[in-house]
Amino acid sequence: MVKRVKHEGFVYNVTTESGNLFANGILVHNSGGLGTPPHLRVE
């Protein structure tokens, strides 16, 4: 089940060879397609 939660804070784009990584034991991937240059802070 996927649950949407409101988030206030930083979001990071972590680069890996496959584009996937484990976060707290959950397989995740970058959101991609945000149209923002790398290393740009978005608020």
Q: Which pLDDT score, from 0 to 100, does residue 39 have?
A: 61
Domain extent at residue 18:
1-43
Q: Which pLDDT score, from 0 to 100, does residue 34 have?
A: 57
Q: Which pLDDT score, from 0 to 100, does residue 14 have?
A: 78
For the chain, the maximum distance between any two Cα atoms, rounded to a whole number of angstroms, is 31
Domain count, the chain: 1
Are the C-beta atoms of 28 and 21 separated by less than 8 Å?
Answer: yes
Task: Give the 3-state secondary structure of residue 12.
Answer: coil
Which are the contacts of 42, defined by CB distance < 8 A and separation ≥ 6?
11, 34, 36
pLDDT in tens, 1-43: 888 888 888 877 777 787 788 989 988 877 665 555 566 565 6
Q: Which pLDDT score, from 0 to 100, does residue 35 have?
A: 59
In the numeric block, which tokens belong to residue 29? 């991937």
